[in-house]
Amino acid sequence: MKQAFASLAISAIIMCCGAAQAQEVPKEIDWLSGDAFLARCGDVGGAFCIGYVTGLMDEAVNVRTIYQVLGEKVPTLWCIPRGVTSNDTTQAVIKYLVAHPDQRALAAASTAEVALKAAYPCSVLRLQSAR
C-alpha cells in the first residue's frame, strides 16, 4: 500500500513538473529587476507589487522555518513590527528603489530584502519590545 502511494505521489510530481517545464515563462517573471519592479509599481504599488513583496516575505519566513526545524541557524534579515501592513512593506521597497537608483539593475527580490532590512531592522524591534 505504501509503495503504491509513493509511486502515485512520484508520478504526480513528475507530471506537475513536466507540465510546468513545458510552458514558456514570460521574461519579466523569469528575472525581475528593480527597474522592472518600479516600472510595474510606480510610486503607488498595486496588487502585483503587494503580492510580489508579500510572496518574497513569505518565502523568507518559510526558508528560515525549514532551517530552524533542521537545527541550523539562519540570520534574520528584517523584523516586521505588529501592525505593519503588506502595503507598508511594499511602500518601503518602492521608497528604497527610488532612493537607490544604482541598485535597480539588480534582482528585485534581492533589493527588496535589503530594503526591508533597512526599513525594519531587528535591533529597532528588539529595543521597542524591551520597553
Cα gap 23→21, rounded to integer Å: 5
Q: What is the pLDDT of residues 8-21, one digit of tens each?
A: 333 333 333 433 34
Q: How is domain 32-130 classified at the architecture level of CATH?
A: Orthogonal Bundle (1.10)
- All three cell numbers of 75, joined, read 540570520
Phi and psi at residue 121, to the nearest 5°: -70, 145
d(Cα 116, Cα 90) in Å, to the nearest integer?
9
Whether 40 and 48 have beta carbons less than 8 Å apart is answered as yes
pTM of the model: 0.69
Instruction: Name the DSSP class of 1.
Output: -
Residue 25's pLDDT band, with cuts at 50, 70 and 90, is very low
Per-residue pLDDT tens over the stretch 40-79? 998 778 899 999 999 999 998 898 899 989 999 888 889 9
pLDDT digits (tens, 9 = 90+) for 68-118: 899 998 888 899 999 999 999 999 999 999 999 999 999 999 999 999 999
The 8-class DSSP code of residue 33 comes to B
The structural domains of the chain, with segments of one domain joined by +, span: 32-130
Please give the full DSSP string across 71-121, using - where no structure is assigned.
T--------PPTT--HHHHHHHHHHHHHH-GGGTTSBHHHHHHHHHHHHS-
